[in-house]
Copies of this chain bind each other. A is one copy, B any other.
Amino acid sequence: MSADFQPAFWAAKRAVMTAAEEAYSRHGVRAGQQFILHQLWKEDGLTPGELARRLELSVPTVTRTATRMENAGILRREPHPTDARLVRLRLTERGWELKDIIAKEAATLSERALATLDSAEREQFVRFLHEVRVNLSR
Protein backbone atom coordinates (compact mmCIF):
# COMPACT_ATOMS: atom_id res chain seq x y z
CA MET A 1 0.00 0.00 0.00
CA SER A 2 1.35 3.38 -0.88
CA ALA A 3 -0.39 4.80 2.19
CA ASP A 4 2.38 3.24 4.24
CA PHE A 5 5.10 4.71 2.13
CA GLN A 6 5.73 7.94 3.95
CA PRO A 7 5.79 6.59 7.51
CA ALA A 8 7.99 3.71 6.41
CA PHE A 9 10.32 6.02 4.56
CA TRP A 10 10.70 8.47 7.43
CA ALA A 11 11.28 5.72 9.92
CA ALA A 12 13.96 4.22 7.70
CA LYS A 13 15.45 7.65 7.20
CA ARG A 14 15.85 8.20 10.92
CA ALA A 15 17.27 4.72 11.41
CA VAL A 16 19.86 5.14 8.66
CA MET A 17 20.78 8.59 9.87
CA THR A 18 21.22 7.45 13.45
CA ALA A 19 23.23 4.39 12.49
CA ALA A 20 25.47 6.41 10.18
CA GLU A 21 26.08 8.96 12.88
CA GLU A 22 27.04 6.24 15.30
CA ALA A 23 29.37 4.55 12.83
CA TYR A 24 31.22 7.63 11.61
CA SER A 25 31.36 9.88 14.63
CA ARG A 26 33.70 7.44 16.33
CA HIS A 27 36.34 8.69 13.91
CA GLY A 28 35.48 12.37 14.17
CA VAL A 29 33.46 12.32 10.95
CA ARG A 30 29.82 13.32 11.12
CA ALA A 31 27.20 11.63 9.00
CA GLY A 32 26.77 14.43 6.51
CA GLN A 33 30.46 14.79 5.83
CA GLN A 34 31.04 11.42 4.21
CA PHE A 35 29.83 12.45 0.76
CA ILE A 36 32.07 15.49 0.68
CA LEU A 37 34.94 13.24 1.70
CA HIS A 38 34.16 10.79 -1.09
CA GLN A 39 34.27 13.56 -3.66
CA LEU A 40 37.52 14.98 -2.33
CA TRP A 41 39.14 11.57 -2.26
CA LYS A 42 38.31 11.27 -5.94
CA GLU A 43 39.38 14.84 -6.71
CA ASP A 44 41.03 16.98 -4.08
CA GLY A 45 40.73 20.74 -4.15
CA LEU A 46 37.15 21.06 -5.33
CA THR A 47 35.24 24.24 -4.57
CA PRO A 48 32.08 24.41 -2.45
CA GLY A 49 30.00 25.26 -5.49
CA GLU A 50 31.34 22.33 -7.49
CA LEU A 51 30.74 19.98 -4.56
CA ALA A 52 27.21 21.28 -4.20
CA ARG A 53 26.55 20.58 -7.88
CA ARG A 54 27.94 17.07 -7.76
CA LEU A 55 26.18 16.14 -4.53
CA GLU A 56 22.97 17.97 -5.34
CA LEU A 57 23.24 19.95 -2.14
CA SER A 58 22.76 23.63 -1.56
CA VAL A 59 25.94 25.69 -1.44
CA PRO A 60 25.40 26.88 2.15
CA THR A 61 25.10 23.29 3.31
CA VAL A 62 28.49 22.53 1.79
CA THR A 63 30.24 25.62 3.10
CA ARG A 64 29.04 25.14 6.64
CA THR A 65 29.89 21.46 6.61
CA ALA A 66 33.31 22.36 5.23
CA THR A 67 33.82 24.77 8.10
CA ARG A 68 33.09 22.01 10.58
CA MET A 69 35.45 19.67 8.78
CA GLU A 70 38.07 22.42 8.80
CA ASN A 71 37.67 22.84 12.54
CA ALA A 72 37.97 19.09 12.91
CA GLY A 73 41.28 19.12 11.03
CA ILE A 74 39.98 17.10 8.09
CA LEU A 75 40.48 19.73 5.40
CA ARG A 76 41.62 23.30 4.94
CA ARG A 77 40.59 26.17 2.72
CA GLU A 78 43.05 27.43 0.14
CA PRO A 79 42.69 30.40 -2.20
CA HIS A 80 42.28 29.70 -5.88
CA PRO A 81 45.38 30.73 -7.83
CA THR A 82 43.58 32.70 -10.54
CA ASP A 83 40.05 33.41 -9.33
CA ALA A 84 39.79 35.16 -5.98
CA ARG A 85 36.12 34.32 -5.66
CA LEU A 86 36.81 30.60 -5.47
CA VAL A 87 37.90 28.57 -2.49
CA ARG A 88 39.61 25.24 -2.86
CA LEU A 89 38.89 22.62 -0.23
CA ARG A 90 41.95 20.46 0.25
CA LEU A 91 42.23 17.39 2.46
CA THR A 92 44.71 17.35 5.28
CA GLU A 93 46.76 14.28 6.08
CA ARG A 94 44.06 13.33 8.53
CA GLY A 95 41.52 13.62 5.74
CA TRP A 96 43.43 11.10 3.68
CA GLU A 97 43.93 8.76 6.62
CA LEU A 98 40.19 8.53 7.02
CA LYS A 99 39.70 7.11 3.54
CA ASP A 100 40.10 3.44 4.36
CA ILE A 101 38.54 3.82 7.79
CA ILE A 102 35.36 5.44 6.55
CA ALA A 103 35.11 3.13 3.55
CA LYS A 104 35.14 0.17 5.89
CA GLU A 105 32.53 1.71 8.18
CA ALA A 106 30.34 2.49 5.20
CA ALA A 107 30.55 -1.06 3.92
CA THR A 108 29.72 -2.44 7.34
CA LEU A 109 26.79 -0.09 7.70
CA SER A 110 25.32 -0.92 4.32
CA GLU A 111 25.75 -4.61 4.96
CA ARG A 112 23.97 -4.29 8.28
CA ALA A 113 21.13 -2.25 6.83
CA LEU A 114 20.60 -4.66 3.94
CA ALA A 115 21.36 -7.84 5.82
CA THR A 116 18.01 -9.49 5.13
CA LEU A 117 17.99 -8.62 1.41
CA ASP A 118 19.55 -10.83 -1.20
CA SER A 119 21.58 -9.49 -4.07
CA ALA A 120 18.67 -9.04 -6.45
CA GLU A 121 16.60 -7.32 -3.81
CA ARG A 122 19.39 -4.91 -2.97
CA GLU A 123 19.74 -3.94 -6.58
CA GLN A 124 16.02 -3.45 -6.83
CA PHE A 125 15.93 -1.39 -3.66
CA VAL A 126 18.61 0.97 -4.92
CA ARG A 127 16.71 1.25 -8.17
CA PHE A 128 13.52 2.15 -6.32
CA LEU A 129 15.34 4.83 -4.33
CA HIS A 130 16.72 6.28 -7.51
CA GLU A 131 13.34 6.30 -9.17
CA VAL A 132 11.76 8.08 -6.24
CA ARG A 133 14.37 10.79 -6.47
CA VAL A 134 13.86 11.17 -10.19
CA ASN A 135 10.07 11.11 -9.92
CA LEU A 136 10.07 13.84 -7.33
CA SER A 137 12.44 16.08 -9.20
CA ARG A 138 9.97 16.50 -12.02
* B contact residues around A130 at 8 Å (CB): 8, 11-12
On chain B, the residues within 8 Å of A113 by CB distance are 5, 132, 135-136
Are A125's CB and B128's CB within 8 A? yes
Chain B residues lying within 8 Å of A124, measured Cβ to Cβ, are 121, 124, 128
- Given contacts A131-B116, A135-B115, is CB(A123)–CB(B1) below 8 Å? yes
The answer to whether B12 and A114 have CB atoms under 8 Å apart is no
Chain A 26-70: CB-based contact to B (< 8 A → 1; otherwise 0): 000000001100000000000000000000110000000000000
Docked-complex contact A110 and B11, CB < 8 angstroms: no
The size of the chain A interface, using a CB distance under 8 A, is: 50
As for how many copies of this chain the complex holds, the number is 2
Given A11-B56, A35-B10, A137-B15: A5 in contact with B132 (beta carbons within 8 A):
no
Give the interface centre of A3, A20, A113 by most chain B CB atoms within 10 Å: A113
Given contacts A114-B135, A124-B124, 11 further A-B contacts (CB under 8 A): A2-B114, A5-B113, A5-B129, A6-B16, A11-B130, A12-B129, A13-B13, A13-B16, A113-B136, A124-B128, A125-B125
